[in-house]
Structure 1
Amino acid sequence: MKSGCDLNEVEVLEPLLQRGGKTNGRILATCVGFLADSYDLFTIDLVVLILQLQYGEELISTGAKSLMVSTMLAGVVAGQLFFGLLADWLGRKWAFVCTAGLTVLSALACSMCYDSGLHGHLGLPLQLALCRFLLGLGVGGEYPLSATVSAEAVGDASGRGQIMTLVLSMQGLGMLLASLLAMFLVTVGLSLEATWRLLLAFGSFPSAIAFCLRWHLSESEAFERCKSAEVLCERSHSQKVVTTLASCWPLLAGTSSAWLLMNMFTYSLGSFKSSIFETAQSSAADEVFQQALFAALTSSFAIMGFLVGFQLIRHMSRYQMQLYGFLALSVVFMVVSVCMEFWPKPSPTSQLIVLGLVFFGLNSGPNLTTYILPAEIFPTCVRATCHGISAASGKIGAFLGTAAFPLVQRYYGMTAVYAACGLAAALGVLVTYFLTPRQVLELETLDKEPL
C-alpha cells in the first residue's frame, strides 16, 4: 500500500470516483447537515446580542444569556450520547434522518418564540432555551453520525482523512454563513426582531435539504457486516458493546479528554466574541453589523486552517497533527498572556488577529484530529457510541469554558483567560502523548484486530 505522502490528489480521491454516486451522496448529505449544525451553534452569539439590544438588560440579563447558550450545549451533549448509541444499535441511516428532521422543526420553533411579558414561567428567554435544547439534540446527533457515515464511506485511510476534513470544514462555512446573513439582513434595513427571527429560521433550510438527501440513502455496508457477524456469533449487541468498550477504554479516555480540553478554550473564546470586541457604534444596527463582521473575519481564519489541514493530513499522522497543534496553541496563548501584562488594552484589530490565529491553529490540527480519530480507532459496533461519548466530553468542556469565561474575564481580565487557555492546551499535549495511538488501521482490519 502506498503511504499518504506518495498519493497525489487524483489517487486520494480515486476510491470515491470508483464507488460513484452512493459514496458521493453520503458525503453530500453529511456536509449539508454539518453546515446546518455549525450555523445553528454559532448564530446564537449574534442572536443574543440582537435580543439584548432590542429588549435591554431587564429581559435579556446575564443569567438569561447564559441560559440560552448553556441549554443548547446540554441538548448537544444528550444528542451526541443518544444518537451515537442509536446509530450503533438500529443503524446509521434512520438515526441520520432523525437528527435532520429534529433540527428542522426545532430551528423553526426557535424563530417563533415571542415576548409574552412574563419574566418567569414562559418568558422569551425560557422559550428560546427550551427550543434551543431540542435543537441541540439534533445538532448533537450530527457529530457521531457525520463522522461515522463519512468514515465508513471511504476505506482508504488517506482519502478518509481528507473527506472527513471536508465534512468538518463545513463548521467554518457555517460560522461564515451566519455572519454574512446577519450583515445582509442589517444592511437591507430589516428590524432587529425580523433579523433575529430570520437568523434562527434559516438554520432549518440546509437541514431540510439534508433530510431529503438522507431519506434515500442505503445503510452503511460496515454496519450491515457488523450486524451479520453478531447474528452468526449469536451474541447480542449489548454484550458485544460492553466487551469492546472494556478493551478500548484507554483510547476512549484519550479521545474524550483531548476533545474536552480543546473545547474549553475554543468555545469560551468563539461563542463570546462580542464580549471580547467591545465597540461603540452609533446605532444598534451598526453594532450588530460590526460584531457580524468580526465573526466573519475570524471564520475566514478558520476556513484557511481547514484548507491547510486538508493538505497536512496527507503528509502527517493524526498523532503528530494533534500533538504539534496543541503545543503551538499553548505557546500562542502564553505569549499573548504575557504581552497583555504590558499592553492591558489591546485594540480590537490585535485581538481579532489573535483569535484568528487560534482558529487557524485549531482547524489545521486538534479540531480536525479530535473529530476524526474517534471514527477511525474504534470497531464498527461501538464507533458511533465512542464518537458520541468523545464529542459529548468536548461539549462538557465547552460548557465549562463558557461558564467560567465571563467570570474570569470580569474579575481577572483577559490576561488570566489566555493563561488558562494556554494551560488547557498544554494538558492537551500530555493527553495526546500518552493516550493517542501513533497510527490508524483500515476499518475492516480494525474490526478483527482493534488497536
Structure 2
Amino acid sequence: MAKEQLQVLNALDVAKTQWYHFTAIIIAGMGFFTDSYDLFCISLVTKLLGRIYYHVDGAKNPGTLPPNVSAAVNGVAFCGTLSGQLFFGWLGDKMGRKKVYGITLILMVLCSVCSGLSFGKDPKGVMVTLCFFRFWLGFGIGGDYPLSATIMSEYANKKTRGAFIAAVFAMQGFGILGGGIFAIIVSSVFKAKFKAPAYQVDPIGSTVPQADYVWRIILMFGALPAALTYYWRMKMPETARYTALVAKDAKQAAADMSKVLQVDIEAEPQKIEKLNQETANSFGLFSKEFVRLHGLHLLGTTTTWFLLDIAFYSQNLFQKDIFSAIGWISSAKTMNAIEEVYKIARAQTLIALCSTVPGYWFTVALIDKMGRFAIQLMGFFFMTVFMFALAIPYNHWTHKDNRIGFVVMYSLTFFFSNFGPNATTFVVPAEIFPARLRSTCHGISAASGKLGAIVGAFGFLYLAQNQDKSKADAGYPAGIGVRNSLLALGVINFLGMLFTFLVPESKGKSLEQMSGENEHEHELEQEQQ
C-alpha cells in the first residue's frame, strides 16, 4: 500500500506545459551548451598547439603534439569532470540542488578564462598550466550534469518529462556546433588579416605569431554563455521534491510551487509531520535495501554510460584524425596553421549540423512516445552496424572516390548516438532513483561515463597514433590504427546494447512511482513492526 502523494508533487506531475518549463530548459540548457563547448573546443586547436609549441626550427614538417601531451590536453578535463560529477552529485543531495548550482557555474566561468591565459617559460610549462585549468574547468562541468538533470526531472510533469530532460541535454549539440562556428569565425578573421609570403610555401614560417591568440580566444569564449545565465540560475527556487522529500519542509515546497505554477497548493502539515517521523526509515546508498531495489538499475545506468562515452568522445575528439587519415582534410604541410584550424572546424561543424544536432532533437520529439529503452537499444544497434561497416572495408573507404560515403556513414553513427544512448543515458538516472539519492546516483552514472571518455581520450588516441606509426614503418597502409579503433568501438557499442536490458522503462510514470519511495518505505515500516 503506497502512501498518499503530497499535493505539491501531484501538482507538478499533472501540470500542463507552461512557460516555467521552457525557462528551466533554457537556464539548465545553457549550462550544457557551455559544458560541451568547453569539452570539445579543445579538439579544434590541438593541432594548432602542436604547430606553435612543438615545431623544430628548420624542419620540413609542422610540429605536432607528442601522443602523451595530446592525450593529456584532450583528456584532463574529463578527469576533472569525473571528480566533479561524484562530488557535486553527492553535495546536491546534501545541500540542495540550487545552492550547489551557482558554485559550478562560477567555477566554469573562471577556469574558461584562465585556460585561455595559460602561461609558461617553455612549451611544457604552457601545456602544464593549460591542463591544470582544464582539470578544474572539468570539475565545474562535472557538477552541471547531475544538478541540471535532477532539477529538470523534478520540475517536469510526468507526461513530457523525458522530452524536457532530453531538451536540456540537446543543448550539448548546439555547444559543439557553436564551438565549430566560433572557431571558423576567429580563424577566418586571423587568416584574412595575417597572411604572409610564406603562407603557401613554408609551413613553419606560415605559423604567424598571431596564431597564438586563436586558440586562447576560442577557449576563453566558453565563459560567456555560462556568465550570462548565472543571475537566472540564482532566481530559480529549490525543487519541490528536494524541499519536501529530502529537507522535509513541504510547507516551503508548497509556497515555492504555488508561485511557479500560479495555483494554490495546500501545505499539508499532517503529512509534514509524517514525513519527519519516517526519516529514520530511509535507506542509504550502501544499504542492502538499495542494492536489492536499485542495484541492477545503477549497474545498468553506469555500464551503458561508460560504454557509450568511450565511443562518443573518441569520435568527437579525434574525428580530425579520422578525416586526415581518409584524406578529407589535407596534409598539414599544404596549409598554414590558421588555415588548418579553419578546415578542422568546418569539417566538425558540418558533422554537427547534419547529424549531431538533429539526432538530439529526434530524441526530444520521440522519447515520450517510443520510450527510453527502445531509443537506447536502437541507437546502440545502429552505432554497432555503422562502426563495423566503416571498419571492415576500411581500405575501400580511404579511396578518394569513396570519401563522401565514409563521411555519410560516419555521420550516421553520430546521429544514432544522439538519437539513442547519448541522450537516454543522461535522462534515465534522473528518473529512477529516490529523491534523497537522485543527484548522487546520477553523478555516479555520469562519472562512469566520463571514465569511458577518459579511456577514449587517452587509450584510443595513443592506440591510433602509435599503431599508425609502427604499421607505417612496417609498410602497412596509413590509417590502420584508425581501422582497429573503429573495430573496437563497434564491439563496445554491441556490449552497450546488451547492458541496456538492465535499465527500466520510465515513460509516463511519476518519479516516486519509478523510485518506489512510497511503496518501499511503507514495506520497511511493516518489516520493522
Q: Which residue among 426, 442, 448 is the counterpart of 2:518?
A: 448
> 2:390, 2:397 within 8 Å by CA — same for their partners in 1?
no
> 1:15, 1:154 within 8 Å by CA — same for their partners in 2?
no
Q: Distance in 2 between matches of 1:50 and 1:293?
A: 15
Q: 1:450 to 1:337 in 2, by over 3 A?
A: farther
SS at match of 1:155: coil
RMSD: 2.3
Q: State whether structure 2 residue 180 is matched by structure 1 residue 179.
A: yes
Q: Distance in 2 between matches of 1:213 and 1:108?
A: 21
User: Cα deviations across residues 184-216 of structure 1 (Å, max 9, x unaligned)?
Assistant: 011112632221111111111111122221111
- Per the alignment, residue 49 of structure 1 pairs with 47
Structure 1 residue 450: deviation in Å?
A: 6.5
- Per the alignment, residue 199 of structure 2 pairs with none
SS at match of 1:16: coil
Gaps of 5+ in 1: 1-11
Q: Distance in 2 between matches of 1:217 and 1:318?
A: 28
Structure 1 residue 341: deviation in Å?
A: 4.8
- Per the alignment, residue 387 of structure 2 pairs with 333
- Per the alignment, residue 344 of structure 2 pairs with 291
Q: Which residue among 253, 263, 271 is the counterpart of 2:309?
A: 263
User: Cα deviations across residues 319-369 of structure 1 (Å, max 9, x unaligned)?
Assistant: 111112111111111122222154455665444323311110111111111
Q: State whether structure 2 residue 45 is matched by structure 1 residue 39.
A: no
- Per the alignment, residue 10 of structure 2 pairs with none
Structure 1 residue 93: deviation in Å?
A: 0.1
Q: Distance in 1 between matches of 2:520 and 2:148?
A: 22
> 2:380, 2:493 within 8 Å by CA — same for their partners in 1?
yes
User: Cα deviations across residues 33-58 of structure 1 (Å, max 9, x unaligned)?
Assistant: 11111100100111222211222356
Q: 1:234 to 1:379 in 2, by over 3 A?
A: closer
SS at match of 1:378: coil
- Per the alignment, residue 204 of structure 2 pairs with none
**TM (normalized to structure 1)?**
0.90
- Per the alignment, residue 320 of structure 1 pairs with 374
Q: State whether structure 2 residue 153 is matched by structure 1 residue 151.
A: yes
User: Cα deviations across residues 18-45 of structure 1 (Å, max 9, x unaligned)?
Assistant: xx44x44332210111111110010011
Q: State whether structure 2 residue 359 is matched by structure 1 residue 358.
A: no
- Per the alignment, residue 498 of structure 2 pairs with 430
Q: Which residue among 236, 243, 268 is the counterpart of 1:224?
A: 243
Q: Which residue among 410, 427, 432 is the counterpart of 1:377?
A: 432
> 2:15, 2:157 within 8 Å by CA — same for their partners in 1?
no
- Per the alignment, residue 229 of structure 2 pairs with 210
> 2:47, 2:65 within 8 Å by CA — same for their partners in 1?
no
Q: Which amino acid aligns with 1:428?
A: G
Q: Which amino acid aligns with 1:277?
A: F
Q: State whether structure 2 residue 280 is matched by structure 1 residue 235.
A: yes
Q: State whether structure 2 residue 20 is matched by structure 1 residue 15.
A: no
- Per the alignment, residue 4 of structure 1 pairs with none
- Per the alignment, residue 133 of structure 1 pairs with 135
Q: State whether structure 2 residue 215 is matched by structure 1 residue 193.
A: no
User: Cα deviations across residues 90-136 of structure 1 (Å, max 9, x unaligned)?
Assistant: 100011111101101111111111242263xxx00000000000000
Gaps of 5+ in 2: 1-12, 57-63, 194-209, 249-271, 325-329, 468-479, 522-529
- Per the alignment, residue 6 of structure 1 pairs with none
> 1:107, 1:201 within 8 Å by CA — same for their partners in 2?
yes
Q: State whether structure 2 residue 85 is matched by structure 1 residue 80.
A: yes
Q: Which moved more, 1:110-119 or 1:204-213?
A: 110-119
> 2:84, 2:140 within 8 Å by CA — same for their partners in 1?
yes
Q: Distance in 2 between matches of 1:44 and 1:171?
A: 15
- Select the structure of larger CA radius of gyration: 2
> 2:302, 2:444 within 8 Å by CA — same for their partners in 1?
yes
Q: Which amino acid aligns with 2:29?
A: C
Q: 1:325 to 1:177 in 2, by over 3 A?
A: same
Q: 1:75 to 1:117 in 2, by over 3 A?
A: same
Structure 1 residue 403: deviation in Å?
A: 1.9
User: Cα deviations across residues 227-255 of structure 1 (Å, max 9, x unaligned)?
Assistant: 21763324398x54444633311100000
Q: Distance in 1 between matches of 2:370 and 2:129?
A: 46
Q: Which moved more, 1:309-318 or 1:35-44?
A: 309-318
Q: 1:47 to 1:236 in 2, by over 3 A?
A: farther
SS at match of 2:182: helix
Structure 1 residue 283: deviation in Å?
A: 1.6
> 1:262, 1:367 within 8 Å by CA — same for their partners in 2?
yes
- Per the alignment, residue 475 of structure 2 pairs with none
- Per the alignment, residue 5 of structure 1 pairs with none
User: Cα deviations across residues 155-202 of structure 1 (Å, max 9, x unaligned)?
Assistant: 22x311111121111111000111111110111126322211111111
Q: State whether structure 2 residue 110 is matched by structure 1 residue 105.
A: yes
> 2:391, 2:487 within 8 Å by CA — same for their partners in 1?
yes
Q: Distance in 2 between matches of 1:321 and 1:181?
A: 32
- Per the alignment, residue 282 of structure 1 pairs with 335
> 2:45, 2:341 within 8 Å by CA — same for their partners in 1?
no
Structure 1 residue 221: deviation in Å?
A: 0.3
Q: 1:277 to 1:115 in 2, by over 3 A?
A: farther
Q: State whether structure 2 residue 457 is matched by structure 1 residue 387.
A: no
**TM (normalized to structure 2)?**
0.77
Q: Which amino acid aligns with 2:305?
A: W
SS at match of 2:41: helix
Q: Which amino acid aligns with 2:394?
A: M
Q: Distance in 2 between matches of 1:439 and 1:161?
A: 9
Structure 1 residue 313: deviation in Å?
A: 1.1
> 2:390, 2:410 within 8 Å by CA — same for their partners in 1?
no
Structure 1 residue 448: deviation in Å?
A: 1.6
Q: 1:70 to 1:154 in 2, by over 3 A?
A: same
> 1:155, 1:443 within 8 Å by CA — same for their partners in 2?
no
Q: Which amino acid aligns with 2:212?
A: E
Q: Which amino acid aligns with 1:195?
A: V
> 2:93, 2:439 within 8 Å by CA — same for their partners in 1?
yes
